[in-house]
Amino acid sequence: MLSAESVERIVVQALAEDLGGGDITSRLVVPAGLDVEAEIISRAEGRIAGLPIADATFKAVDREISFRPVVVEGDEVKPGDLVAEIRGKAREVFAAERVALNFLQHLSGIATLTARYVAEVAGYRAKIYDTRKTLPGLRQVEKYAVVVGGGVNHRFTLFDGVLIKDNHLKAAAGVGAAVLAAKRGGAAGLVEVEVENLEELGQAIDAGAGIILLDNMSPAELARAVEITAGRAILEASGGVSLETVKEIAKTGVDRISVGVITQGAQPLDLSLEVVKTVGSRQ
């Protein structure tokens, strides 16, 4: 899912943004021949994601930098835990430090929050899905972090599948007509349509929708929708989902719960890079 090409593109762009014409501070105060040994330490509890991207960041600055993870991608960490060890030329390590940490903190935050949602619905039918609410340019790695956290990826792009939303419906002639139009037009895969009430749910079922997105429905409405549908379509709950409400939503029997906040609102995991040893002359 996470291609080397997409990682390289994202890393190169991020380094270009941060380095510009070079790290003038390190060039002025850090001797060219100095090597460092450093550690990435967790300052909080969470799930680690993004180790390959952090490694690629250091390697993009200097292929000779050694990045050795001490934990495995997806491992849970607590404050004080060692995450990775780094060795290399001081100037190059410092040049890559912030970008590598930004990726690792951001993606670990997404994996951590996703894992919390997944834990809340454990034992129920529903799976936690992400959305397209991602930072521009970072969708590939953010959705990767969702999977590390135990979630499931929804469509990546507008081209991946048909999802008829409320604004589409305003431009079409209603739920049933929109679904039929998509199917007649040769839509590949299951046609998904958003509905806001049980009447629209019936229209979607009658038109043969494969997936029905139940938007901002109460738990009682969701449970009734499950009864009405009786397995004739995949049901996805969306809107108003939080850690406090997700279990009640899962109890209704829906198949999916899509949660935009796992990518849009995840707090970065607190990680720091600390030099533990210098090798070579400081003069």
Q: Catalytic site residues?
A: 98, 133, 165, 194, 215
DSSP secondary structure string for all residues of the chain: ---HHHHHHHHHHHHHHHHTT--HHHHHHS-TT-EEEEEEEE-S-EE---HHHHHHHHHHH-TT-EEEESS-TT-EE-TT-EEEEEEEEHHHHHHHHHHHHHHHHHHHHHHHHHHHHHHHTTTSS-EEE--S---TT-HHHHHHHHHHTT-B---SSTTS--EE-HHHHHHTT-HHHHHHHHHHTT--S--EEEESSHHHHHHHHHHT-SEEEEET--HHHHHHHHHHHTTSSEEEEESS--TTTHHHHHHTT-SEEE-THHHHSPPPP-EEEEEEEEES---
Q: Which of 228, 220, 211, 214 is nearest to 252 (CA)?
A: 220
CA atoms of 240 and 216, how far apart (whole Å): 6
Whether the CB-CB separation of 235 and 127 falls below 8 Å is answered with no
